[in-house]
Amino acid sequence: MLIVVRHGQSVANLTHSFAGHWDIDLTELGKKQAQLSADYVYKNHKIDGIYASDLKRAFNTAKVLSAKLGLTITPIKELREISAGEWEEQLFSDIATKHREDFYVWMNDLDNSRATGGESVAELKERVVNEITKLAKENIGKTVYVATHATPIRAICAHINGKKMQEIDWVSNASLTYIDYIDGKLQILKSGFDKHLQNLKTELPKRL
């Protein structure tokens, strides 16, 4: 089973900026969220391995559990957030103005969108789903912790549920999504679990 954690609140989340491959770190709140997720998983599951996107905000989210268990994190580039081209490090409000047409597609037809000068959502979806499927197959009978980002998790959930990404909610920072490989296919056991964060949850729009 894969326990997929979205990274804790990042600097970009706090400033309403598009991060993409911008390698920013967690905020102080994000570090606390990562700690709460690690504590919950440590208490409730036996973890056999830890994997993470190599970007700081995800890697450092996984690092908290790694320190508790004494397990090495395997960094995986394919688990990165979407490469956002000209949108990276930009405020969402500025993207909407400067890249009106591309941002309109992002907002209304996410599956067919592409960040200006960056990766398409379809390309992101293919690399992430392939990597998650690989990890699930390699860890049958085990439980592993996988730290990644919002768009990859949304893409995985859309793929598994056979839905458009626009029909899938974003998961909150440091939430846990449980995925298993059963009868030759990925299945979601639980999506976006964040009760363990209590009053430290960061509220997000249901869909964007």
Q: What is the pLDDT of residues 42-79, one digit of tens each?
A: 999 999 999 999 999 999 999 999 999 999 999 999 99
Distance CA 10, CA 15 (A): 9
Question: End-to-end alpha-carbon separation of the chain, Å?
Answer: 29
Distance CA 208, CA 195 (A): 22
Q: Which CATH superfamily is domain 2-188 in?
A: Phosphoglycerate mutase-like (3.40.50.1240)
pTM: 0.94
> Domain coordinates of the chain in residue numbers?
2-188
Distance CA 193, CA 178 (A): 9
Distance CA 115, CA 87 (A): 7
pLDDT of residue 203: 74
Phi and psi, residue 6, nearest 5°: -80, 145
Q: Which helix (H) or strand (E) holds 86?
A: none
pLDDT of residue 202: 86
Residue ranges, the chain, pLDDT below 70: 204-208
pLDDT of residue 205: 56
pLDDT of residue 208: 45
Six token digits for residue 18: 């598009």
Six token digits for residue 83: 């490469």
The DSSP letter of residue 1 is: -
